[in-house]
Amino acid sequence: MTGFVANTAPAEETTIENIPFFPDVSPVACRDVMRIDSSITPDRLRAALVSAMHDTNHDLRHFRAEQEAAGYATLAHVPADAIDGSSINVQLYQRAVYNIAKAELTERYRDYDTTLHGTQRAEDLDETIDTYRRQAILAIRKIAGRQRTTVELI
C-alpha cells in the first residue's frame, strides 16, 4: 500500500552570488523588505532577483568601470556615507534589485481576472509596478551620482 507523500520542504533560499564588484543578494532579506509572501516560490523569487541583478549591474556598468579604474574593488569600498553600518551605495543597490524583482513578480503573476473587479485590480497593479520601477531607477541614479531628472530643450 502506498501512502500519501507530502511535498518536500521548500527550497532553501541561499544568497545569490554576484560579480565581485557588486554585493551578493539575499532572497530572504528581499522577501522581508518587499513583503513577498510564500505564494511566490523560492525558485521564482531567485529567477526574478538574478534578472534584477543583471539589469542593475548593466545599468551601472560605466559607474563600475570608473570606480574600478579609480582603485575601488567593490561598491562597498566606493566612498559614501554609511548608515546602520552599511554603505549607502550598497543599500541603494539592494533597493534597486529588490524593486526590479518585485516589479517583475507583480507584473508576471498578477490576477488576470476578466471581471470588472479584476480589471480594476490590474490597473491598480500597473501603478504599483511603475512605482517599483521608479524606485529602482532613482536608486541607480543616486549610486551613479546622476540627477533625478534630465531636461533638454527642444
Is 12 part of any domain? no
Within 13 Å of residue 20, how many CA atoms lie on the same side as its CB? 5
Domain that holds residue 139: 27-144
On whether residue 88 sits in a domain, the answer given is yes
Please name which of 2, 30, 4, 37 lies closest in space to residue 16, comparing C-alpha atoms. 30
Please state whether beta strands 86-87 and 82-83 pair in parallel, antiparallel, or not at all (unpaired): antiparallel
Question: Has residue 103 been placed in a domain?
Answer: yes
Kindly report, residue by residue over 9-68, the tens digit of the pLDDT: 456 899 999 999 999 999 999 999 999 999 999 999 999 999 999 999 999 999 999 999
Could you report the per-residue pLDDT of 96-138, keeping only the tens digit for each? 999 999 999 999 876 544 455 555 555 667 789 999 999 999 9
61-103 pLDDT, tens per residue? 999 999 999 999 999 999 999 999 999 999 999 999 999 999 9
DSSP-assigned letters across all residues of 19-85:
-TTSPPB-HHHHHHHTT--TTS-HHHHHHHHHHHHHHHHHHTHHHHHHHHHTT--SGGGS---EETT
Give the number of other Cβ atoms within 10 Å of residue 154's Cβ.
2
21 domain residue, yes or no: no
121 inside domain: yes
Residue 35 counted as domain residue: yes
Domain count, the chain: 1
Residue 10 placed within a domain: no
| Residue 111 is assigned to a structural domain of this protein | yes
- β-bridge partners, 87: 82
| Residues 6 or more apart in contact with residue 76 via CB below 8 angstroms | 23, 86, 87, 89, 90
Cell reading at 55? 539589469
The amino acid that residue 104 corresponds to is E
